[in-house]
Structure 1
Amino acid sequence: MRIFISVLLLGTLTLTHALQGVSTTEHFNNSLTLDREGNYLLFWNYNTTHVTFEVRVKTRGYVGFGLSPNGNMYPADVVVGWVKDGQVHFQDRHTTGHYTPTVDKSQDWFLLHGEENDFGTVLKFVRKLSTCDQNDMEINNGTQRVIYSYHHEDPADENSLAYHGAERRGTKSVNLLNVNKPPETVSFEEVKVYDFTAGNYLVPDKDTTYLCVANQMPDLGGKHHMIEFEPIYTPGNEHMIHHLVIQRCPGKHPDLHNAKGECFTNWPKGWPYCPEIFIGWATGGGPYYFPPNTGYPVGGPDDYSFMVMQIHYDNPSFKSGMIDNSGIRMRLTPKLRQHDIGSLVIGHNVAPFQVIPPHETAYVTKGYCAHQCLSEAMDGEHVDEIRAVSVMHHAHLYASGMKTRHFRNGTELKPIYDDPNYDFYFQEFVSLKDEVVIKRGDSLRTECTYTTSRSTDPVFGGLTTREEMCETFLYYYPKLDILVCTSFPAMWTKYNYTRGEDDWGEGPGSFKYVMKHAYDWSNSTERSLFKLEQENVSVYHTCSFNSHNGTNRHDHREWEFVEHDTDYISYVPPKSDCDIAN
């Protein structure tokens, strides 16, 4: 389904911000409702050294707020405050267990304002991004898990905080320093709003469904730039939408417009191959605004106009009768910006050949984007470099950290993006603070850290959330013809397995069956043997390019060689102010 609205503005288009209309002590650029009931509101601003927070909570008792690496009360860096008899009480604390937080010796969260009003309790406070206190968490550009709590009564004193209860606490993941912000206005532009939705789809009563919906975009009358996209939901279905991906496909297919079916298993006849990742969004993410000098090209003679939207429904409770019309809203403009954005998928090929052993607390999977792929793509456009502007990491439930690494001439550069606290339930495009230059001859790597301590069998790469992925979606400019740059280890060469129809199977003779019985996975020595063998197996590097021949095919390249960490000099971050001080 599509909705196409063209609006010619006589003045300006103001892009809305969350929680408008709530009075605060100053203008805040960022805001978030932390609980479902709207009882706990968070506002914040940041600069290069500090973050200023303001919380507004519907209570006249104490308020707790903090940062946690895992979303739990322990370990956590917290503040607790309340207003009693007109006096504001406020303390920097940390947790040593799931009980009353301990007061920090170094008080690094500083109160700016506190009051009680008709809404409830208001606390405004500030903290440095890095305090050099071992009991404080660093605030960086990765995923931060904010924790909160409140109680309806003030404590008798600072040593007698009553338990807040299970209903007055929670956690929410957020990127506190994400520089992706809406422009104040989009001036005197013809903005076309284009909605691409599921078309009132009856969601099956099974745990995982990948729905694919086709859309033949109408003639826009010439090249446009997409300048923003955002998710739209059927109310009540938000929890079921794990991710949305829109891919663009060669050729025009008006006969397939609005066609739909389950991806990979029930494709409509004539469905084309769609290699270009146009839009990627996953649970927890919000709107994405392209940098003001860039836009994603749409509607031009070289731009694919046939699109397929993949919606991943996660329905572990097997609910039935759910009708969904969720999707993506795009904003397009004919007022072209300076640069065309391109998209690139890098990482581990999605296949069972990604094997993650059980009983591990920090196992790392590596997916490579070979320099041969990037160099050929740049040669095709006669450019020496591209500039990355934003990334989105994508993995599933076992992932606890992700990193996109960058290599040049045998030396590792600063990671393009490092998120050691990756959260499956919070995935969005993160704008890079500074554009990252990727030169001809560079290579990239996506690394995913997994925790499988509760698993007894290996976890395999695959499509469901109970399987795993390890991918980076990258927006960059200028746009190249390369679309996908991934790798996978030739695991079958070690286990007397012949690739074929059983690659994705489960029964005897399948790759999964062979791997499950190849080791005693409960034995740490045998798991170490598996890791050693995996480190020395050949790696297949693959990349896909636009074909530009009007067919449904794509150009494909493949290389095979062993990757060794000893082949480069590892990146060493510069010493921080805290390192120097110590």
Structure 2
Amino acid sequence: MLRVASVVFFCLFAFGLGQLPPSENFDHNTILDNNGDVRLWWKFNATYITFELQGKTTGWVGLGFSPGGGMANADIYVGWVANGVANVTDRHGEDSNAFPPLDGEQNVETLGGLEESGWTRVKFVRPITACDSDDMTITSNTMRVIYALGSTDGPDIQYHGATNRGTRSLIVLTYANDGQQPPAGETTSNFDLLNDNFAVPAVDTYYNCRVLEIPPAINTPQHIVQIEGVVQTGNEAHVHHILLYECPVSVNGSSLGVDNRCYDGSPPEHLQCTQLLAAWAIGSSAFVFPNHVGFPIGNADSPKFVLMETHYDNPTLKNDIVDSSGLKITYTPQLRQHDAGVILVGHIVSPFAHLIPPNTETFEDYSECGPRCLTDAIGAANVTSVNAFAVLLHSHLLGRSLELKHVRNGTELEPIASDNNYDFNYQETRTLPQEVTIKPDDSLQMLCNYNSKGRSNVTYGGFGTYQEMCVSFLYYYPKIQLTDCTSTPDFGVILGYYLGITNVSVTGQLGPYSTLESIVVTEPPELAGLTVMEIVNAISWNETVADEFSMFLQAIPHSQQCYPVDLKLPAFTFNLTKTLQPYVAPTPNCSQNTETTTMTTTTTMAATTTSITTTSSATLLRFSPVVQMCFTLMLLVTSFFV
């Protein structure tokens, strides 16, 4: 009886008192608002996407996709259940946040709905590609999703009010399975790696580094299969991202539990922990590894200690932030087929040669992980290639679009990952739709497109939120001894050929937190005494000058940082790989969406998009097995006590 009661408690906890469970097992789900009153489930195939939207109301529920985060020019869907019948309408926002009229063409099919216990749920399907000017194509970019609740049923929907609405960023076409089931028979355990009541300094940006111990009980080979951020309640606005690095077996934990500002006077142990193990960023959900891949721990040569780097964002300079955030690591003793690794690809984090002109709408910045580095690292591992399966794209506030390009023999292949609508406050590790094979002679080019409108001075690279980065964290297998493959334009060439500087002196000691203000010109005489920062800010920047500077940076030599743990390959200079044949994305085909008016009968989705009815027995048959189990057990328990 105790076991049955426990299951019943689980069911109540999982679905809430009054919340409606989903009608089936969806691949993805999220809570759209801060109170848990608006929930979204979805799945998709190559042609159509099915949504199930649930809101805490007995009126209408709305979902939309917006170019700017408001109702203006948004693609909107409004649904309700009246007298047991579900309705979903296709609408669009006009040039303001006014009432959204119906589209002339209703590119949506209602699949069912349910109103019960103060909640309304509607289910509908639409084409992924928009062929109607009032609709928006669902893409793999970060999308601005809008939502709202109303107190009355349609079709004459009433205003939602000032509080029953919201906006959030979401990657809709991601292939990560939020509900992915582990392989049959796999058992898992977990442990936390956390900061310990760390008092965040009253500065706008702070990177805290802390050595932590892998639980000693993990002394046999295991695989990490899930990584999840653990953010202390109340600190969500301040914990921006967390990186986890392996420490070599030579590290003995002498600085265990000691907090230190990263990269600045760090203990010697910190400098040895360079092999990237995991990356989490603001907005990320749990990252679940594919079922054939895991990150190795517990081996004789596996790390006993890790270095956790936490980026704190504190723009208002608060002095009372105390934090114990970190990561939850899930692992299994059932080893999977492949060991995974992570490579940092992109622009070396530096204030010197990463320069973004001010007040420009578009500025392209290129960096590269070149063939020489990949050839040496892959060859040293005695493998012929590696396979990428996931990517986290990362820049700061100016980033608008990010792309990890893939070039082979001068031909640009389909990008490994891209996001043309990047949101600094929502960064998700995305599983790739297909694994990408990377060969020794390939080139991985990181492209960031920045918008610096509103800034009056040059923005330089660095760790601060108002400085910039342009990197990606590439998850791959089999694991090789390569953790950092980044580049930067030659700073000396920028000084001499672009700025006309022939000699400089340095004030203080250069380090990762230095700026161009610490470099003072000594020659030529007409520039002597000025800092490099003053000189670059004195340039009359405009879109044309910025474009010319971007092309200059692409043409000059780059310094390659290729940091394998064992190879110790020194930095070297090279020229960015030239693309002889650029990649051309296929043109979306609208004809496949208009050949039939019944969407659910034209794809394999038909079998799983059965309408939801309001008859309890029929609804139960269409719920997922877990939901069916919960309802059945609760009915049994109820009959037991009657």
Normalised to the residue count of structure 1, the TM-score between the two structures is: 0.88
**Distance of 1:525 and 1:186 partners within structure 2:** 55
After superposition, where does 1:289-368 map in structure 2 within 5 Å? 289-352=288-351, 353-368=353-368
Residues 259 and 268 of structure 1 are in contact (CA less than 8 Å); yes or no, is this contact kept in structure 2? no
After superposition, where does 1:123-522 map in structure 2 within 5 Å? 123-154=122-153, 158=156, 162-181=158-177, 182-185=179-182, 187-189=184-186, 191-219=188-216, 220-250=218-248, 251-268=250-267, 270-352=269-351, 353-490=353-490, 491-493=494-496, 494-495=498-499, 496=501, 498=504, 501=509, 504-505=514-515, 507=517, 509=519, 513-521=533-541
Comparing 571-580 with 170-179, which one deviates more in the overlay? 571-580
SS at match of 1:124: strand
User: Equivalent residue for 1:572?
Assistant: 584
Q: Do the aligned partners of residues 498 and 375 (structure 1) sit closer, same or farther apart at CA in structure 2, a change above 3 Å counting? A: farther
User: Equivalent residue for 1:531?
Assistant: 550
SS at match of 2:242: strand
Q: Gapped runs of 5+ residues in structure 2? A: 1-9, 521-530, 595-642
Comparing 30-39 with 81-90, which one deviates more in the overlay? 81-90
**Residues 518-561 of structure 1, C-alpha deviation per residue, up to 9 Å, x if partnerless?**
5112x4443344334333322222211113xxxxxx71333323
**Distance of 1:306 and 1:396 partners within structure 2:** 29
User: Equivalent residue for 1:559?
Assistant: 572
1:189 shift after superposition: 4.6
Residues 517 and 534 of structure 2 are in contact (CA less than 8 Å); yes or no, is this contact kept in structure 1? no
**Distance of 1:236 and 1:203 partners within structure 2:** 13
The higher radius of gyration belongs to 2
**Distance of 1:87 and 1:385 partners within structure 2:** 55
User: Equivalent residue for 2:26?
Assistant: 28
User: Equivalent residue for 1:551?
Assistant: none
Higher strand share: 1
Comparing 412-421 with 205-214, which one deviates more in the overlay? 205-214
Residues 198 and 323 of structure 2 are in contact (CA less than 8 Å); yes or no, is this contact kept in structure 1? yes
1:77 shift after superposition: 1.2
Q: Do the aligned partners of residues 514 and 324 (structure 1) sit closer, same or farther apart at CA in structure 2, a change above 3 Å counting? A: same
Q: Do the aligned partners of residues 396 and 372 (structure 1) sit closer, same or farther apart at CA in structure 2, a change above 3 Å counting? A: same
**Distance of 2:539 and 2:516 partners within structure 1:** 17
1:465 shift after superposition: 1.0
Residues 348 and 487 of structure 2 are in contact (CA less than 8 Å); yes or no, is this contact kept in structure 1? yes
Residues 211 and 256 of structure 2 are in contact (CA less than 8 Å); yes or no, is this contact kept in structure 1? yes
Q: Do the aligned partners of residues 455 and 164 (structure 1) sit closer, same or farther apart at CA in structure 2, a change above 3 Å counting? A: farther
**Distance of 2:140 and 2:422 partners within structure 1:** 12
**Distance of 1:20 and 1:406 partners within structure 2:** 43
1:237 shift after superposition: 1.6
Comparing 315-324 with 80-89, which one deviates more in the overlay? 80-89
**Distance of 2:505 and 2:160 partners within structure 1:** 56
1:354 shift after superposition: 1.1
Q: Do the aligned partners of residues 404 and 31 (structure 1) sit closer, same or farther apart at CA in structure 2, a change above 3 Å counting? A: same
**Distance of 2:131 and 2:273 partners within structure 1:** 49
Residues 216 and 256 of structure 1 are in contact (CA less than 8 Å); yes or no, is this contact kept in structure 2? no
1:163 shift after superposition: 4.1
1:478 shift after superposition: 1.0
Residues 57 and 63 of structure 1 are in contact (CA less than 8 Å); yes or no, is this contact kept in structure 2? yes
Q: Do the aligned partners of residues 555 and 579 (structure 1) sit closer, same or farther apart at CA in structure 2, a change above 3 Å counting? A: farther
1:271 shift after superposition: 3.3
**Residues 123-156 of structure 1, C-alpha deviation per residue, up to 9 Å, x if partnerless?**
221112113223322223332221112233456x
**Distance of 1:97 and 1:171 partners within structure 2:** 18
1:362 shift after superposition: 2.6
Cα RMSD, aligned residues only: 2.7
SS at match of 1:92: strand
Comparing 310-319 with 507-516, which one deviates more in the overlay? 507-516
1:571 shift after superposition: 0.7
**Distance of 1:431 and 1:253 partners within structure 2:** 35
Residues 370 and 577 of structure 2 are in contact (CA less than 8 Å); yes or no, is this contact kept in structure 1? no
SS at match of 2:254: helix
**Residues 355-388 of structure 1, C-alpha deviation per residue, up to 9 Å, x if partnerless?**
1112222322112111111011111112211110
Residues 216 and 253 of structure 1 are in contact (CA less than 8 Å); yes or no, is this contact kept in structure 2? no
SS at match of 2:329: strand
**Distance of 1:384 and 1:349 partners within structure 2:** 27
Q: Does 2:116 align with 1:117?
A: yes
> What letter is aligned with 1:449?
N
Question: Aligned pairs, how many?
Answer: 556
1:186 shift after superposition: 5.5
Q: Gapped runs of 5+ residues in structure 1? A: 1-14, 548-553
Residues 188 and 331 of structure 2 are in contact (CA less than 8 Å); yes or no, is this contact kept in structure 1? yes
1:162 shift after superposition: 4.7
Q: Do the aligned partners of residues 525 and 290 (structure 1) sit closer, same or farther apart at CA in structure 2, a change above 3 Å counting? A: closer
SS at match of 2:552: helix
Q: Do the aligned partners of residues 580 and 120 (structure 1) sit closer, same or farther apart at CA in structure 2, a change above 3 Å counting? A: closer
**Distance of 1:262 and 1:465 partners within structure 2:** 16
Higher helix share: 2
Normalised to the residue count of structure 2, the TM-score between the two structures is: 0.81
User: Equivalent residue for 1:64?
Assistant: 62
Residues 363 and 547 of structure 2 are in contact (CA less than 8 Å); yes or no, is this contact kept in structure 1? no
Between the aligned residues of both structures, percent identity stands at 33
**Distance of 1:196 and 1:263 partners within structure 2:** 17
**Distance of 1:231 and 1:346 partners within structure 2:** 22
